Chain A
């Protein structure tokens, strides 16, 4: 978990609020995310974690507030003022999104190799041989055997699907990856392998990550910083081990005390 020192934030979130009708999604959330930083969002079910993640990744427009992102050219841009073409390019190249359910992030009826290669084609690569060899290389990095490259993900286990989804996301060398419960629904031993893989990739590639997880051990292992959400609000935020070892808010103390040891 190396830290990368940079003077300028990658993402700046200002007072983001989202309502669903009169129902609260998330309320008045502000933070900066720095290059190379992994931020974990934890909190009880319904506290607004997925809502916030979707607002950040432009999948869901906030009711109020603003989100700025540093484009590759260094300019800070308001995400909700990008053109549709700019926004799509960002999502296809500079960002990744890892869903809890791999089927939401993969194309289940095309081969593993094509799932990875597709993202490369989306950024303009055309040479079939190169695409295939890059895809093969990435399958190796996520520990999927080469001889599975032509199989489609329906024949994969849950853990393999999740690793494939990660390869598909990282092949374009994104700078920012959003993850919503990437280890949810997997067996404990499968989770450990996935986590270890994620930890290495994030640090090798210097990725910035916003990861939603209900698992404090995942947050402890992967993240530099943590935000605790409750009823739509961020109620506590700080250095991950500080919030987990010396939580200040009543709800954070409850959250930390409800698990055996992290």
Chain B
């Protein structure tokens, strides 16, 4: 299986200028790769830097050091130094991201929120909305909610809208930040099936999953992020 994603010597810290320039070291010398069709789970205690690693891969956090290499066909792109518009293009067609919380957009209905990434990839609005509905149905989001904006939904309902949005389109790389955190067992099982389908399609996934049962079912490998702990004196 070819390598899809490779993190090479990645380092990250935050400088808090409003707190007298305190430096918060997060991770150092992060090194791992993810193959197509593989799901790698990042483990480690709260604050270890798991989400920060995902956010660097997505280009949401800056990567201070090292390289984040994405290989698509013959092209290798280093997210760590890509131009903003290159990062935006990667987010449109290459890297998907299911964040922990849905960022709601005023006045946009749940089904349109879900359909949007597929439309951005060139799918017709009709087909995209059809697929959005079928995913919302699979995730047991009540049909009466589909045409409403998710701002007033419960935490679990928003999370499922968020998952549907993350899974609707095909991305060669998919990042999952605790997608099952506020779901019941039945919906966790749906997510496990969705992840398995992505694996069969050759998607390379990096996930953060606290549920032991979900983790055991989908993780091909677990990487302990504490191994990349940055030296506090650095």
Residues B66-90 near A (CB distance < 8 A): 84-85, 87-89
Q: Is the CB of B88 within 8 A of A224?
A: yes
Contact indicator B18/A257 (Cβ below 8 Å): yes
Residue of A34, A224, A242, A254 with highest tally of chain B CB at under 10 A: A242
- Are the CB atoms of B107 and A192 closer together than 8 Å? yes
Interface residues of A in 5-37 (CB under 8 A from B): 5, 34, 37
Interface membership of A83, Cβ < 8 A: no
A3 and B105 form a contact (CB under 8 A): no
CB distance from B46 to the nearest CB of A (A): 19
- Cβ A246 vs Cβ B17 within 8 A: no
Is B85 in contact with A245, judged by CB distance below 8 angstroms? no
The answer to whether B18 touches A253, judged by C-beta atoms less than 8 angstroms apart, is: yes
Interface size of B by CB at 8 A reads 21
- Provide the residues of chain A in CB contact with B105, threshold 8 Å: 196, 199, 221
Judge whether A238 is part of the interface by a CB distance below 8 angstroms: yes
Closest B residue to A39 by beta carbon equals B84
Contacts of B108 in A (CB 8 A): 196
Q: Closest A-chain residue to B103, C-beta based?
A: A220
Do B85 and A242 have beta carbons less than 8 Å apart?
A: no
Q: Would you call A37 and B92 a contact (CB within 8 A)? A: no
* A242–B60 touching, CB < 8 Å: yes
Instruction: Choose from B14, B60, B106 the contact partner of A196 (Cβ within 8 Å).
Output: B106
A-B contacts, CB under 8 A, total: 56
**Contact assessment for A193 and B107 in the assembled complex, using a CB-CB cutoff below 8 Å:** yes
Give A3 to B85 CA distance when docked, in angstroms.
8
Asked if A196 and B107 sit within 8 Å, CB to CB, the answer is yes
At the interface, yes or no: A241 with Cβ under 8 Å from chain B? Answer: yes
- Cβ-defined partner of A254 (8 Å) among B14, B15, B18, B120: B18
Q: Is A91 engaged at the interface, CB distance under 8 Å to the other chain?
A: no
Question: Which of chain B's residues have a CB closer than 8 A to the CB of A199?
Answer: 105
A245 & B18 in contact (Cβ 8 Å cutoff): no
Please state if B17 and A250 are interface contacts (CB–CB under 8 Å): yes
Residues A246 and B62 in contact, CB atoms below 8 Å apart: yes
Q: Please measure, in the bound complex, the distance between the C-alpha atom of A2 and the C-alpha atom of B89, giving whole angstroms.
A: 9
Q: Evaluate contact between B107 and A239: CB separation under 8 angstroms.
A: no
Q: Given that A241-B60, A242-B61 are contacting pairs, would A225 and B120 also be in contact in the complex, using a CB cutoff of 8 Å?
A: no
- B18: chain A residues at CB < 8 Å are 250, 253-254, 257
State A225–B85 Cα separation when bound (angstroms).
Answer: 9
What is the bound-complex CA distance between A249 and B120, given in angstroms?
33
Is B16's CB within 8 Å of the partner chain A? yes
**Are B17 and A239 in contact (CB-based, < 8 A)?**
no
Is A248 located at the chain interface by the 8 A CB criterion? yes
Interface flags for A227-244 (1: CB within 8 Å of B; 0: not) read: 000000000001101100
The answer to whether B85 touches A37, judged by C-beta atoms less than 8 angstroms apart, is yes
By beta carbon, the residue of chain A nearest B18 is: A253
Report the minimum CB–CB distance from B88 to chain A (whole Å): 4
Asked if B59 is at the interface (CB within 8 A of a chain A CB), the reply is yes
In this complex, what residue of A is CB-closest to B14?
A: A246
Interface centre among A2, A195, A254, by most chain B C-beta atoms within 10 angstroms, is A2
Give the distance in Å from the alpha carbon of A37 to the alpha carbon of B89 in the complex. Answer: 12
CA gap between A257 and B18 in the complex, in Å: 9
Contact yes or no, B106 A224, CB < 8 A: no
B55 lies within 8 A of chain A by Cβ: yes
Tell me if B85 and A224 are in contact (CB < 8 A). Answer: yes
Give 12 pairs: A residue, B residue, CB < 8 Å, sorted on A.
A3-B92, A193-B106, A221-B105, A225-B84, A238-B84, A241-B60, A242-B62, A245-B60, A245-B61, A246-B62, A248-B15, A250-B17
Apart from A224-B84, A242-B84, list 7 A-B contacts with CB within 8 A: A3-B92, A225-B84, A239-B87, A246-B14, A246-B60, A253-B17, A254-B17
Shortest Cβ-Cβ A-B pairs, 10 listed: A250-B17, A192-B106, A239-B84, A3-B88, A196-B107, A246-B61, A2-B120, A253-B17, A225-B84, A246-B62
